[in-house]
Amino acid sequence: MPFNINHIHLKATDPKVVADWWVKAFNFTIVSDTVRDVGDRFVACRSENGITVNISGARTGETLGPGDANAHEGLEHFGFDSDNLEADLARLTGLGAVLLQAPPPPSTPPVQRICFIRCPDNIRIELIQRPPAA
């Protein structure tokens, strides 16, 4: 049996507000929105390529530690492909993301370009623009 990634789980102070942001920012679909027996609001989402991303708040009696969108040990970020970094950065910062590392300028010949942003609840995201196929 292959070890497929089952899901990504994000914690948020307001899971619905954060899920709505991901819907606008990356075309996620909200699959369900419930309050679980453990007391947290649990919003299940799906990315355009079918990855499940769950967003939940604190469970009863649980205190969430602060997020950290800087480079750090552990799960540090996840990445999204982009066809146009400048256009996506403009759109995402318009939705409240913060640019952490700007992309390098376009070059000839084209090379892979990346940048990093901070999203709601201090989630670190990498945007990746690959060169056109030869």
Sheet with 52-56, edge to edge strand ranges: 7-11, 52-56, 41-46, 29-35
Q: For 102-127, write each residue's pLDDT tens digit.
A: 999 998 888 999 999 999 999 999 99
| pTM value > 0.85 | yes
Can you spell out the DSSP letters for 74-120? SS--EEEE-S-HHHHHHHHHHTT-EEEEPPPPP-SS---EEEEEEEG
With beta carbons less than 8 A apart as the criterion, state whether 20 and 122 touch. Answer: no
Superfamily in which the 78-129 domain is placed by CATH: 2,3-Dihydroxybiphenyl 1,2-Dioxygenase, domain 1 (3.10.180.10)
Q: For 86-104, write each residue's pLDDT tens digit.
A: 999 999 999 999 999 999 9
Query: What is the C-alpha radius of gyration for the chain, rounded to an integer number of angstroms?
Result: 16
**In the chain, domain spans:** 7-56, 78-129
Strand partners for 57 = none
